[in-house]
Amino acid sequence: MAATQDVKGKGEGGDQNFDYMFKLLIIGNSSVGKTSFLFRYADDAFTSAFVSTVGIDFKVKTVYKNDKRIKLQIWDTAGQERYRTITTAYYRGAMGFILMYDITNEESFGAVQDWSTQIKTYSWDNAQVVLAGNKCDMEEERVVSVDSGRLLAEQLGFEFFETSAKDNINVKQTFERLVDLICDKMSESLDTDPAVTTGAPTAKLTDSAPPLQQPGCNC
């Protein structure tokens, strides 16, 4: 099955008026809340119904930083193992990852290390990662402590937030932090080598709007 058959992106798709485009991915076990997290961020809504993602989906959201218009192309991946070949194909070219687990699900936390290995295997070396312990509104069912999450993030070299898509806790902050990390990385690269931007061998940072990447394109 071709990966593009599983793509059904929504959002401000056709708008080419932006300064930068950042490709972000949300990954983690099935049911940790990836789709809900993106839904909350892009549409400020939440539903308790669980419709497991088939393959991959995306939404587009524009943010502003230092007068620059940054278009976020946010890919929501299926956590189910059977879609792994499709979803890992989208890691290439991603500048940032939100690696999510569910604080009420030990197994999803135990899988973080494996997801981190997937990032190292399939993405650029300088992709930025934020670890998100989702469903922090469910304190009574918590099985992963805040300290365990923070410690693991530290060990893996990731930033860390506990979040709730349901109660809208740290959703915006997680995305904003990831954007900041990517921007920092970009300016770091520019300081050392003006030709280098985000690690893409062919990508050049310019003041003019780059061409819009088509949905389904792996660049």
Nearest approach, Cβ of residue 59 and ligand GTP (Å):
13
Task: Give the binding range for ligand GTP (CB under 6 A) out of 8-16, 44-52, 111-119, 211-219.
Answer: 44-52
165 binding ligand GTP? (CB under 6 A): yes
- Say if strands 68-77 and 56-65 run parallel, antiparallel, or are unpaired: antiparallel
Query: Are 100 and 132 spatial neighbours (Cβ–Cβ below 8 Å)?
Result: yes
Nearest approach, Cβ of residue 82 and ligand GTP (Å):
11
93 binding ligand GTP? (CB under 6 A): no
59 binding ligand GTP? (CB under 6 A): no
Q: What one-character-per-residue DSSP string does 93-129 give?
A: T--EEEEEEETT-HHHHHTHHHHHHHHHHHS-TT-EE
Strands (E), 48-191: 56-65, 68-77, 96-102, 128-134, 159-162
Task: Give the binding range for ligand GTP (CB under 6 A) out of 13-21, 109-117, 135-143, 184-192.
Answer: 135-143
Q: Tell which one of 34, 59, 177, 185 touches ligand GTP (CB under 6 A).
A: 34
Dihedral of CA atoms 113, 148, 158, 52 in degrees, nearest 10, equals 60
The option from ligand GTP, Mg ion, none interacting with 137 (CB < 5 to 8 A, set by class) reads ligand GTP
Q: Tell which one of 11, 21, 35, 97 touches Mg ion (CB under 5 A).
A: 35
Binding site for ligand GTP (CB under 6 A): 30-36, 47-48, 50, 52-53, 78-80, 134-135, 137-138, 164-166
